[in-house]
Structure 1
Amino acid sequence: MSVLDLSRRLLALSQTGLHFSQEEYDRERYREMAQIAGELLALESAMTPDKVRALWMVEDGYSTPKVDVRGAVFRGEQVLMVKERVDGKWTLPGGWADVNDTPSHAVEKEIEQESGFTARAVKLAAIFDRNKHNHPKFLYHVWKMFFVCEITGGDFRTSYETTDVKFFPVAELPELSTGRVTAAQIQCAYKHHLDRALPTEFD
């Protein structure tokens, strides 16, 4: 396991321990665990240990993975993509799932917000652990849900998060925002678009 993997695990154990433990002696040890994890992560990044802990400890309670949803919309052999304002690269529409949203509504909402198109989720193609799919290193542990979706209305429109919206041939993808999506994941979604009877992929 990498320093990031080990530090993330320490932070998760610390957060969960602070949630369940009432004994101040134990709580002090869990706070020290978070301090050590923050210092380890700071060695791997430009952030200070305090900044790392502040980013991590935005929630309390039992630590669980974050959920990212992505919508794959195809038109023939082309896929709908949005250009991210943050890095100027391309991705499938999507983002963090919101509390009280169902998975399908979360991805449908992201597609409309980022591309201007209304869509309907028709199949869950895959649930992938971000750590296992060639994404850049990231502080949080993330599960990524990829849905095959169909356009029901709307039209091309950018947003405060996106600067362009286009369809690209699946075989000729633009420069990808690989923190959000990889070419292999787009190909996976396309395979499920072509054959809806395929079982959902995972891990």
Structure 2
Amino acid sequence: MHRLLLVEDDHDLRGMVSETLVDEGYLVDQAPDGQRGLHLGLTRTYDVMVIDRRLPALDGLDLVTRLRSKAVAARALMLTALGTVDDRIAGLDAGADDYLVKPFDLDELSARIRALCRRTTDSTDALRVGAGLLDLSLRDAVLPDGTRIALSAREFELLRVVAARPNAVHSRAELRSRVFDEAAAASIVDTYVYYLRRKLGRSVIQTVHGLGYRLGSL
């Protein structure tokens, strides 16, 4: 069963959409504002997030941006009354995967969610890294603009291990044993984190002081 997050401040609309999706077999968590949506998005794993553009407490664009900055990989469908080209571009640039303008037909919403769920299922040959990807078949990184960056075997494996559990903090000792098992010192992890940051930007892997490293974003 696919798990969805629905972030919508309109009580009646939220209830109607949630009821429809539950009837179609989805597990649905609801949030009435951006702050609650951020908390759920960071603490639970979803296949698709349906997020209203205008939300109290935290705007929908800011919500998607923050979730992507924390390497949340769930597909995001943004709902909005703002239907201009610039508004759609802003949503997609923030990290949304699709955009649906209000008022919308529930059948169309359901079809778009099914399409996003298929994309989630079909993307097993790649891991999300913020708005970018780690291509597991070609073993390189794909930036948000589509640029591909070649990685060495160890750079790729280090990023793969971290990206496979995007919300976990990985200790240097753990990463040394999983990626560099023949290396004597855990400092080799720091060296390859430096290499990845030099190629992909400093935000690709976050330092959690005193604990280790966590996936960032491209």
Q: Which has the higher contact order (CA 8 A, sep 6+)?
A: 1
Structure number with the higher helix fraction is 2
Fold similarity call, TM over 0.5: no
Structure number with the higher strand fraction is 1
TM-score (norm 1): 0.27
